[in-house]
């Protein structure tokens, strides 16, 4: 089946942890939220790792250093080293280093993760537009990032300096809900200057390149909770993906996904790494998965049966994506999703 016209989630006779050599795991919304481990994440990753799967943690969050992220994961009960962590700060630092001379000054609007990544590439982070930078880089700086930092970026960008962004995620999950992400901060500078940054993070190729360079993965599986970063990034990189429903994506968004946002597999949480994925079977104009049957009716998606909610969602995806083809499904799925509790 062409990757560009996926019409149903795929099945796998093997556990995904056996079918792929490396899991490229997003962090926020997949492994943890608000600093706390998501239910089932710790034991599921332990089993996958003990079975021989390499675990790499790939995050668009440029705030923390790989050392800090690895220490946090280890605290949660997920043993990790800095080399297991790939951040958008590392990807954007490589992107900048490919375009400016060694030792160049770069104005940083963001956190320590950006500064460490720039130094790793032989670049000097500075704090002011008056420090003679040759470029500007912007990454998530956390809730305490001062408003004046956006002014410094705007002054420099308005002078014609090249502008880079670690990522443009508009939101970031937290323990209290959904908060503004780096993309919202990038919009502040964009509005002030009218400029457009070069972006490194998911779903764009610089992040995939950084990940493959650092992990050496041959059969990677992207695992994420966001359609527009994790799943689209896998699509752009030509690799398979697993969407877990522990973060920002809900059932309605998944059913309405355009082709580039349709994951290979769908599961409730990281336990999905440890099992085979059930096949969604076409049955006339309907689709069966587990105990559920889904079909596209007159202006709506219809669902019948019983069983695990995620099986019903897989069947609904097949009905919705088949009906939509290369477009976005516009069928009403409210009653079907309510039946699944999604």
- What pLDDT is stored for residue 35 in this prediction? 85
Residues 61-86 as b/e (b if ≥16 CB within 10 A, e otherwise) read bbbbbbebbbebbeebebebeeebbb
194: left (phi over 0), alpha (psi -120 to 50) or beta: left
d(CA 137, CA 119): 13
Q: In Å, how far are 226, 254, 257, 303 from 199, measured between CA atoms?
A: 17, 25, 23, 41
- CA 177-139-247 angle, to 5 degrees, is 30
pLDDT tens digit sequence for 100-135: 999 999 999 999 999 999 999 999 999 999 999 999
Lowest mean pLDDT among 15-29, 175-189, 245-259: 175-189
Query: Which among 14, 38, 21 has a CA at the least distance from the CA of 270?
Result: 38
- Tell me the per-residue pLDDT of 206-265, one tens digit each, with 9 for 90 and over: 999 999 999 999 999 999 999 999 999 999 999 999 999 999 899 999 999 999 999 999
Mean pLDDT of all residues belonging to the chain: 95
- Catalytic residue positions, numbered: 26, 28
Output the six-digit token pair for 164.
């880079």
* Angle at the Cα of 173 from the Cα atoms of 275 and 56, rounded to 5 degrees: 45
pLDDT at 201 > cutoff 90? yes
Q: Which two tokens stand for residue 262?
A: 């349709």
Q: What value does the mean pLDDT take over residues 28-40?
A: 92
């Amino acid at each position: 089946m062409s990757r560009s016209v996926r019409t149903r989630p795929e099945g796998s006779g093997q556990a995904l942890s056996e079918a792929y050599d490396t899991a490229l795991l997003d962090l926020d919304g997949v492994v943890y939220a608000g600093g706390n481990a998501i239910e089932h994440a710790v034991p599921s990753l332990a089993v996958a790792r003990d079975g021989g799967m390499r675990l790499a943690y790939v995050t668009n969050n440029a705030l923390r250093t790989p050392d800090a992220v690895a220490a946090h994961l280890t605290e949660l009960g997920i043993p990790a080293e800095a080399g297991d962590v790939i951040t958008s700060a590392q990807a954007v630092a490589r992107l900048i280093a490919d375009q400016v001379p060694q030792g160049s000054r770069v104005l940083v609007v963001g956190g320590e993760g950006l500064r460490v990544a720039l130094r790793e590439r032989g670049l000097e982070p500075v704090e002011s537009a008056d420090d003679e930078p040759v470029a500007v880089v912007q990454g998530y700086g956390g809730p305490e990032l001062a408003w004046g930092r956006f002014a410094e970026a705007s002054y420099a960008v308005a002078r014609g300096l090249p502008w880079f962004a670690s990522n443009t995620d508009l939101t970031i999950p937290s323990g209290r809900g959904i908060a503004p992400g780096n993309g919202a901060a990038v919009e502040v500078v964009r509005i002030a200057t009218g400029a457009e940054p070069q972006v490194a993070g998911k779903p764009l190729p610089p992040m995939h390149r950084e990940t493959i360079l650092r992990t050496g993965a041959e059969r990677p599986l992207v695992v994420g909770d966001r359609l527009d970063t994790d799943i689209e990034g896998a699509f752009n990189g030509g690799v398979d993906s697993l969407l877990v429903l522990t973060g920002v994506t809900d059932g309605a968004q998944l059913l309405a996904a355009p082709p580039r946002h349709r994951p290979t597999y769908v599961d409730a949480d990281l336990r999905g790494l440890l099992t085979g994925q059930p096949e969604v079977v076409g049955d006339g104009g309907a689709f069966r998965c587990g105990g559920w049957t889904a079909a596209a009716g007159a202006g709506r998606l219809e669902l019948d049966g019983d069983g695990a909610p995620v099986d019903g969602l897989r069947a609904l995806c097949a009905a919705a994506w088949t009906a939509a083809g290369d477009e976005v499904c516009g069928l009403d799925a409210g009653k079907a999703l309510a039946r699944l509790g999604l």
